[in-house]
Amino acid sequence: MLRKIPIHQLRVGMFVHEVCGSWLEHPFWRSSFKLSDARQLKQLAVVKEVVIDTSKGLDVDAPDTLMDDIEVQVASEASASQAIDLSDEEARLATSCSFQQELARASRVVEQSRSAMKSMFNDVRMGKAVDTEHCLPLVEDITQSVTRNPGAIVSLARLKTSDDYTYMHSVAVCALMVSLAHQLHLNAEDTREAGLAGLVHDLGKAVMPLEVLNKPGKLTPAEFAIMKGHPEAGHRMLLEGRGVGPVSLDVCLHHHEKINGSGYPHGLQGDDISLFAKMGAVCDVYDAITSNRPYKAGWDPADSIQKMAQWAKEGHFDERIFQAFVKSIGIYPTGSLVKLKSGRLGVVVEQGANSLLSPVVRVFFSTKANEPIPPALLDLGDSRVTDQIVSRESPATWGFKHLDQLWTEAD
pLDDT tens-digit series, residues 25-78? 455 544 567 887 776 777 777 778 888 888 888 887 633 332 233 223 323 333
Average pLDDT, the chain: 85
Contact 230, 205 (CB under 8 A): yes
Q: What is the pLDDT of residues 332-349, one digit of tens each?
A: 999 999 999 999 999 999
pTM, to two decimals = 0.76
Would you call the peptide bond into 395 cis, given omega within 30 degrees of 0 as the criterion? no
In this predicted structure, what is the pLDDT of residue 43? 72
Q: In Å, how far are 73, 84, 259 from 16, measured between CA atoms? A: 16, 19, 31
Of the candidates 245, 244, 232, which has an alpha carbon nearest to the alpha carbon of residue 129? 244
Q: What is the pLDDT of residues 192-228, one digit of tens each?
A: 999 999 999 999 999 999 999 988 888 999 999 999 9
333 vs 337: CA distance, rounded Å: 9
Q: How many residues does the chain have?
A: 411
Strand-strand pairing, 15-19 and 389-392: unpaired
All domains of the chain in start order, with CATH = 2-72 (no CATH), 90-329 (1.10.3210.10), 337-408 (no CATH)
CB contact set of 329 (below 8 Å; sequence gap of 6+)? 150, 151, 154, 176, 179, 286, 301, 305, 351
Q: Which of 8-22, 123-137, 374-388 ranks highest by mean pLDDT?
A: 374-388
H-helix or E-strand containing 222?
Answer: helix 221-227
The end-to-end CA distance of the chain, in Å, is: 43
Q: What is the DSSP letter of 83?
A: P
3-state secondary structure of 295: coil
Q: What is the DSSP letter of 221?
A: H
CB contact set of 195 (below 8 Å; sequence gap of 6+)? 139, 142, 143, 174, 175, 177, 178, 181
Q: In Å, how far are 11, 14, 27, 31, 211 from 5, measured between CA atoms? A: 11, 11, 19, 16, 59
In this predicted structure, what is the pLDDT of residue 32? 67
Residue type, 49: E
133 vs 186: CA distance, rounded Å: 21
Contact 330, 130 (CB under 8 A): no
The yes-or-no verdict on residue 144 having pLDDT over 80 is yes
Percent of the chain with pLDDT over 70: 87
Cα 148 to chain centroid, rounded? 15
